[in-house]
């Protein structure tokens, strides 16, 4: 039985209840690396699902339960706080705008940031936003990592909490600490290490694209954070940490500014960073090696295009998407770099073998052909191009 109430604000509450006597059958998901387009520091993801099944995006953590072969297009968009406030709800995840063929997506599995001990809470829901109206949906199921919801119409989907979730002011969320090292200022002989405190369900790639000129420091990131609690950073070798303290806010926007900035000497090789809560207890601590950054290393070594392709051959084969390889083949044929026989020979092969064919055939045709492949990849998949240092 389904009934809905619509408020003047455009807020709609779905009273549909999930089936509790029918066992959910959970397939093992097929992981995929989506094609990525970056425009104005915003990422758009795409992937063609070759068959029905459950598919897990390795960059966002979103899972799609698909009923048929379909193209997925999705991106993170800004929440409209004016839609949330009348319903006494607050954002609990990024807001995903999703497009696909009609009736292709049966269910969405959206990553949450609830610690396992909080999963019995009934404060977590899904919202569907379309044409300025918001519908609150009861989840089909909540797992340790995801909230599962049935899909009837596509547009924007995200998770929300009822404000009662935070009446207990000591209840944490699953968080992550991300570190980005900015280039050395050779005049001041200083470098800044940006520290971001975020919920665990914000995709790292969404943050990395905001810090393109910085070096992402791989480190254990998991922690637990409490909304509106005050945190400080301790770093013995730092000249300064700014600000001295900061409240943790649930920020599911699209900008991701630093929570803290640590100013370090340019020759710093190792740092130990401790994040403390307002009771002076450690919530995260890590010792990291900083990459050596000198003038000579700040300028990448320039290789001829064919040799550059050879240097990144394995990464290209492992990471390039099926749709990007096919579009590269079309472009290379149109430019006369490959002939129809070479294209047809590659087309019938699995994705990885097709990618090997593309990069090897083009490399063997010399620098000009290799430059064309690099230009094509830069246009079709700027994220991969940047990852391979081809941009």
Q: What mean pLDDT is predicted for residues 156-183?
A: 92
- Core vs surface per residue 278-309: b (16+ CB within 10 A) or e: eeeeebbebebebeebeeeeeeeeeeebbebb
Length of the chain: 391
Q: What is the model's pTM?
A: 0.71
| Contact between 82 and 9 (Cβ < 8 Å) | yes
Residue 25 has what pLDDT? 46
- Alpha-carbon distance 265 to 287, whole Å? 16
Q: How confident is the model at residue 223 (pLDDT cuts 50, 70, 90)?
A: very high
pLDDT score for 6: 39
pLDDT at position 391, please? 63
Write out the CATH class of domain 4-166: mainly beta
- Residue pair 128/153 in contact (Cβ under 8 Å)? The answer is yes
* Residues 6 or more apart in contact with residue 296 via CB below 8 angstroms: none
Q: Where in the chain is the domain with CATH 1.10.533.10?
A: 300-387
For the stretch 9-25, what's the b/e string if a residue is b when 16 or more beta carbons lie within 10 angstroms of its beta carbon? ebbbbbeeeeeeeeeee
Cα dihedral sign, 380-383-385-390: positive
pLDDT at 282 over 90: yes
What architecture does CATH give domain 300-387? Answer: Orthogonal Bundle (1.10)
Average pLDDT over residues 73-84: 93
Average pLDDT rounded to a whole number, residues 104-127: 84
**Tell me, what's the pLDDT at 20?**
34
Q: Does domain 173-297 have CATH number 3.20.20.70?
A: no
Contact 355, 294 (CB under 8 A): no
pLDDT at 132: 85
Helix, strand or coil for residue 315?
Answer: helix
**pLDDT for the residue numbered 188:** 82
Kindly report which listed range (231-235, 239-243, 252-256, 355-359) carries the lowest average pLDDT score. Answer: 252-256
Which of 283 and 117 is assigned the larger pLDDT? Answer: 283
Is 120's pLDDT higher than 60?
Answer: no
Buried b (16+ CB within 10 A) or exposed e, 81-92: eebbeebebbbb
Degrees, nearest 5: CA angle 125-129-130: 155
Sign of CA dihedral 375, 321, 110, 179: negative
Confidence band of 8 (pLDDT split at 50, 70, 90): very low
Q: Please state the rounded mean pLDDT for residues 366-378.
A: 92
Q: Residue 38 — very low, low, confident or very high, per pLDDT cuts 50/70/90? A: confident
The whole-number pLDDT of residue 167 equals 87
Quick one: which of 146, 149, 60, 154 has its CA closest to 108? 149
Average pLDDT, the chain: 87
Check whether 270 has a pLDDT greater than 90: yes
* CATH 2.60.220 domain span(s) along the chain: 4-166
Percentage of the chain surpassing pLDDT 90?
65
**6 or 215, which is more confident?**
215
What average pLDDT score do residues 76-101 get?
92
**Residue 9 pLDDT level (bands cut at 50, 70, 90):** very low
Structure tokens at 165: 């979730």
């Amino acid at each position: 039985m389904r009934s809905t109430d619509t408020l003047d604000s455009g807020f709609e509450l779905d009273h549909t209840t999930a089936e509790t006597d029918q066992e959910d059958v959970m397939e093992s998901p097929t992981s995929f690396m989506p094609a990525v387009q970056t425009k104005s520091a915003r990422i758009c993801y795409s992937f063609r699902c070759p068959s029905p099944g459950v598919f897990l995006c390795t960059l966002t953590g979103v899972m799609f339960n698909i009923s048929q072969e379909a193209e997925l297009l999705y991106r993170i968009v800004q929440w409209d706080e004016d839609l949330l406030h009348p319903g006494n709800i607050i954002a609990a995840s990024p807001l995903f705008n999703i497009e696909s063929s009609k009736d292709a997506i049966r269910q969405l599995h959206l990553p949450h940031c609830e610690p396992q001990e909080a999963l019995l809470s009934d404060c977590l829901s899904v919202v569907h936003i379309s044409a300025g109206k918001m519908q609150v949906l009861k989840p089909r199921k909540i797992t340790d990592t995801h909230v599962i919801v049935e899909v009837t119409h596509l547009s924007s989907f995200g998770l929300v909490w009822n404000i009662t979730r935070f009446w207990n002011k000591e209840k944490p969320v699953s968080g992550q600490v991300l570190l980005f090292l900015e280039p050395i200022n050779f005049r001041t002989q200083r470098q800044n290490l940006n520290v971001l405190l975020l919920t665990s369900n914000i995709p790292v790639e969404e943050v990395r694209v905001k810090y393109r000129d910085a070096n992402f420091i791989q480190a254990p990131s998991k922690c637990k954070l409490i909304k509106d609690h005050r945190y400080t950073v301790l770093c013995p070798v730092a000249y300064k940490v700014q600000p001295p303290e900061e409240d943790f806010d649930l920020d599911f926007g699209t900008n991701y500014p630093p929570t803290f900035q640590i100013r370090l000497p340019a020759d710093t090789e190792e740092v130990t960073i401790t994040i403390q809560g307002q009771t002076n207890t450690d919530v995260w601590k890590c010792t990291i090696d900083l990459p050596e950054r000198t003038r000579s290393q700040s300028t990448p070594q320039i290789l001829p295009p064919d040799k550059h392709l050879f240097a990144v051959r394995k990464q290209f084969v492992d990471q390039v998407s099926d749709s990007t390889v096919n579009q590269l083949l079309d472009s290379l044929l149109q430019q006369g770099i490959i002939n129809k026989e070479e294209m047809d020979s590659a087309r019938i092969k699995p994705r990885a073998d097709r990618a090997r064919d593309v990069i090897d055939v083009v490399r063997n045709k010399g620098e000009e052909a290799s430059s064309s492949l690099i230009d094509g990849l830069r246009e079709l998949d700027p994220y991969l191009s940047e990852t391979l240092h081809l941009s």
